[in-house]
Structure formats: C-alpha cells, structure tokens
C-alpha cells in the first residue's frame, strides 16, 4: 500500500482480555518495527522484524506481549491479559531494508492504535 496501515485505530478493552493489533507495512518493506508511545515513558522500542524473523524483541515488556509476522508482510502484536498500564498508542513502522546502509534511512510510521484498558 501507499503507507503503513494500522488497525484498529482505537481499541477499548476490559482488563484481563486479550487484544490483537495489526500492522500492514508498505509493500516491499522488509523491516518492520513496533513502538509504544505512552505518557510516562515516551516512545519505546518493542520489537524488530526482518522478513518473518524477529532478531530483536528486547523491548517487549513482559511475556504477555508477543508479535508475529507472516509472508514478510502483515504483523500482529498480541497482548494477553491486558493491564491498565498497557494503555498507550502502539505504533508500527516499516523501512525498505533492515540490512546494510538502507537500515539507516528512517522509518515510515503508521498512525497507530490507541489502546485503552478499562
């Protein structure tokens, strides 16, 4: 697609429920990133995909968080047993390549999913 698409744009869920957030990167972009933007923590790196592999998942805050990417394209971030502290905007970004100097050419971000846990 023309840009990075994220769905849903807003999600309200009850504490303890599971949620899935979806990211559709720009066609042909092999590198995909998830970040979380919250009031207290700013923008935090969560996970990086190169193709379908996740070489760096060091930013996932707990084992309740997981992510996968299929077909080198769509990625899903899953949060199990949501807690109120999970409330944040989850941003997805993609770039042309995660390797070589291309990796340094900045990302294209989606508009994010605003997650509210009540």
Partner 1 sequence: AQSVTQPDIHITVSEGASLELRCNYSYGATPYLFWYVQSPGQGLQLLLKYFSGDTLVQGIKGFEAEFKRSQSSFNLRKPSVHWSDAAEYFCAVGAGITGGGNKLTFGTGTQLKVEL
Residues that bind partner 1 (CB under 8 A): 4, 31, 33, 35, 42-43, 45, 48, 50, 53, 55-56, 91, 93, 95, 97-100, 103-112
Tracing tokens 């949501």 back to the chain, one arrives at 82
CB closer to partner 1 out of 7 and 80: 7
Q: How far is the CB of 20 from partner 1 (least distance, A)?
A: 19
Beta bridge partners of 109: 93
Tracing tokens 């769905």 back to the chain, one arrives at 7
3-state secondary structure 64-95: CEEEEECCCCCEEEEECCCCHHHCEEEEEEEE
H or E stretch at 7: strand 5-7
- Do you find a cis peptide bond into 65, omega within 30 degrees of 0? no
Q: In terms of DSSP bridges, do strands 75-79 and 19-24 run parallel, antiparallel, or are they unpaired?
A: antiparallel
Q: How far is the CB of 19 from partner 1 (least distance, A)?
A: 19
Tokens describing residue 56: 């760096």
Q: How far is the CB of 70 from partner 1 (least distance, A)?
A: 18
CB closer to partner 1 out of 78 and 102: 102
CB closer to partner 1 out of 18 and 43: 43
CB closer to partner 1 out of 80 and 87: 87
Q: How far is the CB of 61 from partner 1 (least distance, A)?
A: 16
């Amino acid at each position: 697609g023309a840009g990075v698409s994220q769905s849903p744009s807003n999600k309200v869920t009850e504490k303890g429920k599971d949620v899935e957030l979806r990211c559709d990167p720009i066609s042909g972009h092999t590198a995909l990133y998830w970040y979380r933007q919250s009031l207290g923590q700013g923008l935090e790196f969560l996970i990086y995909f190169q193709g379908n592999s996740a070489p760096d998942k060091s930013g996932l805050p707990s084992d309740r968080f997981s992510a996968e990417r299929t077909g080198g394209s769509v990625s899903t971030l899953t949060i199990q047993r949501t807690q109120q502290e999970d409330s944040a905007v989850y941003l997805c970004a993609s770039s042309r390549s995660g390797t070589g100097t291309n990796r340094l050419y900045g990302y294209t971000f989606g508009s994010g999913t605003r997650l509210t846990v009540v």
